[in-house]
Structure 1
Amino acid sequence: MPKPGLATIFQKRKDQPNSHLSSQPSQSQHHAQPEASSSKRKISSLSQAAPGTDRTPHTKRAKTAAQNLEKAAPLAERLRPRTLADFVGQPHLTGPGSLLMNLIESGSSGSMIFWGPPGCGKTTLARLLAKQSDAVFKELSATVVGIKEVREVFEEAKGQLTLLGRKTILFLDEVHRFNKSQQDIFLPYIEQGYIQLIGATTENPSFKINGALLSRCRVFVLERLTDDDISEIVARAIHRVSPQSNQSHEPAIDITDEVQHVTSSQTAVSEPPSSPSQPAPFPAFPQLTPQILKSIASLSTGDARTALSLLELAISTSPSIPTSTLLDSLRRSVSTSYDRTGDSHYDMISALHKCVRASQGSAAMYWLARMLGAGEDPMYVARRMVVCASEDVGLADKHALPLAMATLQACQTIGMPECRINLAHLVAYLSEAPKSTRAYEAYKRAEAAAQLDMTLPVPLQLRNAPTTLMKELGYSKGYAYNPDYAHPVHNDCVPIQFVNDVFLRKEGDMEGKMWDEDKLKEWEFKENDGQDWGGRDKFINGNTK
């Protein structure tokens, strides 16, 4: 019995109401066929039905199964681009003359790691690149498979290459989920050319990918999509899910300009453009007002998957729902992209620390609010501020470290949400406190000197002499106990090699400090109301000491 074709499935869907959300065939259709064949024996008795009835009930069941799986797939999955020409964003990778395209055209792309934020097109790009070659394509996700499944793919790839001369491309999503020891399994197969690995990760490969594996792969960085990219993706999606598009055999038109026009015009006027007198830009979906389209692009924050999920929510909403209600639903449906174990975690704490160091209290307070609002552990922030109290404020304010330790204890005792007030108090104090890195820099200089030779002996004058033998050997000989004297005394306190080295420099010592006139002028213009810095006179004529 012939299996139903895609055209048959789509024709059946066209006759059903609300079929516009499933305009693209899902890959899950291919997995529906075994269910149909396995059910053939169960319903074989139905094939003896009365004349005139459908004698192929298993075919109907296969259609239903395919349609059910297709309906279950999110809109973002159903609307993935089918060709590189349909891919939106990442022009530095997919544009003419780009390194990646040149490698693909030359056939020597090798193994690759795609690194970028969620929803920027890593998986889609990998699938499209695989279509450019006749290699066998295998796709796995490190979130659901282990070494056993990967090894099976490798053995199959080895057989394909040996018997048929075809290479295998393995796309491994979330490759960073394999620890560095597990990643070693890839090395011999990549080295011998049995597979071409395309890994995708949202984490920094420098920290998450085995160094040996990283050296065998090219790393391509994908950027967060721009609002214009998101607008184009949304425009194409609206056209593809539009009932008129599904019922027409005409080629798809590009309505990106229309979406961008209505979203940009929204920013040009102060009153809401979605008034009753203004026609909706998309008659099939009157609820997709310019304000809704702009909000989708804004709320997605460069994540195409999020944008299409929001679009799906908006399309499924009744047109009678007020725009304000729909906007509120869209905002509530978007979860934070902050990951307490990912790069954003380290990026934001770095931003907070550097703003405190620069005495930018308002900016530091913003990053503190961002982190705590996203669910960051307040103890982590407090511990970092304890470090900041000594690293950046240091000797300039003796109260900074006690306050930081008190804040750490307060966070431990009372927890969130109240301890956010304690952290705000500490961040404000550290931001406004004078700064001194003398102690921190002194340690770094001393550490560098100590690493030169870790075997240098302690000067005899500083050694303890609890026994007669030690005293006879000269331990502690000539040591002057400072409190016994009414005047300063000298002791040999460091190995002779470092007698003239000054690790802890005097307050105000500018040795080694940089003078950058351009940086100073930028500060004067942006933060000092264009006025000259008061300390400039001390540094004229190149005098920086």
Structure 2
Amino acid sequence: MEPDLFTAAAEERQEKDPAGSPLAVRMRPRALDEVVGQQHLLKPGSPLRRLVGEGSGGPAGPSSVILWGPPGTGKTTLAYVVSKATDKRFVELSAITAGVKEVRAVIEGARRATGGYGKETVLFLDEIHRFSKAQQDSLLPAVENRWVTLIAATTENPYFSVISPLLSRSLLLTLEPLTDDDLRGLLGRAVADERGLKGAVTLPRDTEDHLLRIAGGDARRALTALEAAAGAALDKGGTEIALATLEETVDRAAVTYDRDGDQHYDVASALIKSIRGSDVDAALHYLARMIDAGEDPRFIARRLMISASEDIGLADPNALPIAVAAAQAVAMIGFPEAALTLSHATIALALAPKSNSATTAIGAALEDVRKGHAGTVPPHLRDGHYKGAAKLGHAQGYVYPHDLAEGIAEQQYAPDALKDREYYTPTRHGAEARYADAVEWTRGRLGRKRS
């Protein structure tokens, strides 16, 4: 049996028996107006509205769509809504488990369905970035001939992970993380709606706040936790989902952390200061608090990149590449896997030798510039690549260091007012010891007066 028949049968069962489906499935929007968040994509006349035939002229634009965004932001939901709004069959495949054989089977089934009883197909391909170039190439005939409406989802930058021919034939829609207000509205609807919990339970504010922390911007996670906690509350004979009941259900303690308040900055500050102080265990504690509270992983990664230069610098030149690599990985994979990457980087930074010499060096240089201690560029360093430069004395007398055996020439580089100024004061921590030796040697070869 083809994969699309399994999907169609499962969808039919869910529609006939919605009570037997998970809450996240029952609350799945059936029209664009029910979609939570993503208002930038849902404006009247938007490409997404036109794709489902709203507005004048009916459906317009490409028949392939790429949805790019973090987990839990509604990529599967949007694909499902498009299929419902356009009265098309909905077939879902995951690039993790499916290959070219499965894709071709769905495409062939779609061609038969179109020719046999006029029913077009939406093929939702999740995690398309996991497909190889050859696997993505296999989708092109179906897209070009409009045998299916392809809706592909990715958490990675499609300009790096999707082949150009497919990208150029697709409408690219970027999904934003759901806000707390988006999720509050969704939770309230799930509690009251006939498709949801039908008002059987109430959700106090402190429990709702913890649900938002657990969700981390992921609607599916929020609804799954709500359903489990509601079931536990009803089993106890109550109708209110107490915070303790939610904690027991999801096995997490409520962590005091406000992403928009003082705790946000206090915990972030404690993370960086623990790294600076080389206390790896404290750093991991604060990192865990931020992750558990649903902090944006990109915010954490940015703080780690700053720390790598501010507090470690040349004492371990590998610290910054590690932090940058972590930030890139976080942007590609998102939570929950991003927690591993952030832990990797935090441990490496906390245990690295420390130096703030890069911080103090640029601070001292900026202070001089802002006080007006600049001066003119020495004539021999000025641009000499234009007619008349030689007559002005520009670039005359400049010694090309590569022509010398030691690769360094005794000549003045700084303006006259700053020719003996020293900004960089290296430590002898870790790898910076060799920079300390190098700066002493080079300053001597440059004929600089010792300070």
**TM-score, length-scaled by structure 1:** 0.46
Pairwise CA distance, 1:402: 4.6
Corresponding residue for residue 312 of structure 1: 227
Corresponding residue for residue 314 of structure 2: 401
Structure 2 distance, partners of 1:175, 1:406, is 32
The question of 1:285 aligning with 2:201 is answered: yes
Kept in 2, the 8 Å contact 1:171–1:197? The answer is yes
The question of 1:111 aligning with 2:64 is answered: yes
The question of 1:169 aligning with 2:122 is answered: yes
The one-letter code matched in structure 2 to 1:169 is V
Corresponding residue for residue 32 of structure 2: 84
User: Cα distance 1:431–1:175, how it changes in 2: closer, same or farther (>3 A)?
Assistant: farther
Structure 2 distance, partners of 1:180, 1:427, is 42
Kept in 2, the 8 Å contact 1:29–1:70? The answer is no
Structure 2 distance, partners of 1:158, 1:194, is 6
The one-letter code matched in structure 2 to 1:153 is V
Q: What is the DSSP-based 3-state SS (H/G/I as helix, E as strand, rest coil) of the residue aligned with 2:123?
A: strand
User: Cα distance 1:122–1:243, how it changes in 2: closer, same or farther (>3 A)?
Assistant: closer
Structure 2 distance, partners of 1:310, 1:92, is 28
Pairwise CA distance, 1:490: 7.0
User: Cα distance 1:420–1:195, how it changes in 2: closer, same or farther (>3 A)?
Assistant: closer
Q: What is the DSSP-based 3-state SS (H/G/I as helix, E as strand, rest coil) of the residue aligned with 1:220?
A: strand
Pairwise CA distance, 1:139: 2.3
The question of 1:99 aligning with 2:47 is answered: yes
Pairwise CA distance, 1:179: 1.8
Structure 1 distance, partners of 2:412, 2:25, is 62
Pairwise CA distance, 1:149: 1.1
Pairwise CA distance, 1:403: 4.5
Corresponding residue for residue 520 of structure 1: none
Kept in 2, the 8 Å contact 1:361–1:428? The answer is no
Kept in 1, the 8 Å contact 2:319–2:349? The answer is no
Corresponding residue for residue 224 of structure 1: 177
Kept in 2, the 8 Å contact 1:154–1:195? The answer is yes
Q: What is the DSSP-based 3-state SS (H/G/I as helix, E as strand, rest coil) of the residue aligned with 1:97?
A: coil
User: Cα distance 1:371–1:431, how it changes in 2: closer, same or farther (>3 A)?
Assistant: farther
The one-letter code matched in structure 2 to 1:97 is G
Q: What is the DSSP-based 3-state SS (H/G/I as helix, E as strand, rest coil) of the residue aligned with 2:189?
A: helix
- 1:223-280 per-residue CA deviation (whole Å, 9 max, x = no partner) reads 11111111111111111369994xxxxxxxxxxxxxxxxxxxxxxxxxxxxxxxxxxx
User: Cα distance 1:387–1:405, how it changes in 2: closer, same or farther (>3 A)?
Assistant: farther
The one-letter code matched in structure 1 to 2:227 is E
Q: What is the DSSP-based 3-state SS (H/G/I as helix, E as strand, rest coil) of the residue aligned with 2:355?
A: helix
Determine which of 129, 132, 145 is the counterpart of 2:82. 129
The one-letter code matched in structure 2 to 1:202 is T
User: Cα distance 1:324–1:153, how it changes in 2: closer, same or farther (>3 A)?
Assistant: closer
Structure 2 distance, partners of 1:323, 1:387, is 40
Pairwise CA distance, 1:154: 1.8
User: Cα distance 1:130–1:435, how it changes in 2: closer, same or farther (>3 A)?
Assistant: farther
User: Cα distance 1:422–1:196, how it changes in 2: closer, same or farther (>3 A)?
Assistant: closer
Kept in 1, the 8 Å contact 2:72–2:219? The answer is yes
Pairwise CA distance, 1:221: 0.8
User: Cα distance 1:386–1:303, how it changes in 2: closer, same or farther (>3 A)?
Assistant: closer
The one-letter code matched in structure 2 to 1:127 is Y
Structure 1 distance, partners of 2:177, 2:19, is 28
Aligned length: 313
Structure 1 distance, partners of 2:345, 2:251, is 26
The one-letter code matched in structure 1 to 2:287 is R
Q: What is the DSSP-based 3-state SS (H/G/I as helix, E as strand, rest coil) of the residue aligned with 1:80?
A: coil
Structure 2 distance, partners of 1:387, 1:232, is 36
Kept in 2, the 8 Å contact 1:364–1:427? The answer is no
Pairwise CA distance, 1:151: 0.5
Q: How does 1:422-461 map to 2 (within 5 A)?
A: 423-424=349-350, 426=352, 429-430=355-356, 433-435=359-361
Determine which of 143, 168, 174 is the counterpart of 1:190. 143
User: Cα distance 1:430–1:218, how it changes in 2: closer, same or farther (>3 A)?
Assistant: farther
Corresponding residue for residue 339 of structure 1: none
The one-letter code matched in structure 2 to 1:297 is L
Structure 1 distance, partners of 2:135, 2:344, is 43
The one-letter code matched in structure 1 to 2:74 is G
Give the alignment's Cα RMSD to 1 decimal: 5.2
Pairwise CA distance, 1:420: 6.1
The one-letter code matched in structure 1 to 2:23 is L
- 1:340-375 per-residue CA deviation (whole Å, 9 max, x = no partner) reads xxxxxxxxxxxxxxx9xxxx9659879985389869
Structure 1 distance, partners of 2:89, 2:196, is 36
Corresponding residue for residue 158 of structure 1: 111
Structure 1 distance, partners of 2:218, 2:28, is 14
Q: What is the DSSP-based 3-state SS (H/G/I as helix, E as strand, rest coil) of the residue aligned with 2:90?
A: strand
Corresponding residue for residue 179 of structure 1: 132
Pairwise CA distance, 1:174: 1.9
Q: How does 1:135-534 map to 2 (within 5 A)?
A: 135-162=88-115, 167-240=120-193, 245=198, 284-285=200-201, 288-317=203-232, 318=236, 323-329=242-248, 332=251, 370=287, 400-403=313-316, 423-424=349-350, 426=352, 429-430=355-356, 433-435=359-361, 493=402, 506=413
Q: What is the DSSP-based 3-state SS (H/G/I as helix, E as strand, rest coil) of the residue aligned with 1:95?
A: coil
The one-letter code matched in structure 1 to 2:60 is S
Q: What is the DSSP-based 3-state SS (H/G/I as helix, E as strand, rest coil) of the residue aligned with 1:434?
A: helix
The one-letter code matched in structure 1 to 2:245 is L
Q: Percent identity?
A: 35
Kept in 2, the 8 Å contact 1:361–1:427? The answer is no
Q: What is the DSSP-based 3-state SS (H/G/I as helix, E as strand, rest coil) of the residue aligned with 2:153?
A: strand
Pairwise CA distance, 1:315: 0.4
The question of 1:120 aligning with 2:73 is answered: yes
Structure 1 distance, partners of 2:196, 2:317, is 61
- 1:472-529 per-residue CA deviation (whole Å, 9 max, x = no partner) reads xxxxxxxxxxxxxxxxx978946xxxxxxx9x994689xxxxxxxxxxxxxxxxxxxx
Structure 2 distance, partners of 1:156, 1:143, is 21
Name whichever of 110-119 and 362-371 sits farther off.
362-371
Pairwise CA distance, 1:191: 1.7
Pairwise CA distance, 1:193: 2.4
Which runs of 5 or more structure 2 residues have no equivalent in the other structure?
A: 1-7, 254-267, 277-281, 293-299, 322-341, 363-397, 404-408, 417-451
Structure 2 distance, partners of 1:226, 1:386, is 25
**TM-score, length-scaled by structure 2:** 0.55
Using CA pairs under 8 Å that are at least 6 residues apart, name the structure with larger relative contact order, 1 or 2.
Answer: 2
The one-letter code matched in structure 2 to 1:296 is L
- 1:128-185 per-residue CA deviation (whole Å, 9 max, x = no partner) reads 1112224443322222221101111222333445566654321112222212221110
Name whichever of 171-180 and 325-334 sits farther off.
325-334
Kept in 1, the 8 Å contact 2:67–2:153? The answer is yes
The one-letter code matched in structure 1 to 2:151 is I
